[in-house]
Structure 1
Amino acid sequence: MHDGHHFKKELWKDCLHTEYDRWYEEDPCTGDMISGLPITLIAHDSRFEYDLNRDPLEAVYDSAWGQRVMEKTAFAKAKRSSYIKT
């Protein structure tokens, strides 16, 4: 489950979403909601970098919720480095 807002600093300038937009779509506080469960996996990275709710081959996406995530020139490099995390 994603609960984080961490987004690699080198991607900030190429992200097409405001920090607030990212925070809102990242489902803030979901980690608190499940913290009492016996086994949890909580990612502190932003789902705008990679999304654990998707197949690993599609976890790094160029569009989210109908909007592009990053400038296309930065997307290929970001995809390679973020895919390693999935």
Structure 2
Amino acid sequence: MAKFQVSSTIFFALFFCFLLIASYETGVAEAKICGKMSKTWSGMCVNSGNCDRQCKNWEKALHGACHRRGFGFACFCYFKCRA
């Protein structure tokens, strides 16, 4: 019984060390995404697909989507943040 306790304690200690190592940042930087209201969109945004297309084609953004702004919806474009 004592041998089982020792081996299970070692197992959990190694497992805990593995979790710590796995969760530690490896230095790979993730690209941050920043959103701002579209400069080329006019009117209320009701279709995120159209907003996405306009942001990509006209403003060279990564993505675009409609979001609530005041009493309506506006087109927001998302870009890589500058460091």
Q: TM-score range by the shorter chain?
A: under 0.3
Greater share of residues in strand: 2
Q: Larger relative contact order (C-alpha < 8 A, sep ≥ 6)?
A: 1
Choose 1 or 2 for highest CA Rg.
2
**TM-score using structure 2 length:** 0.21
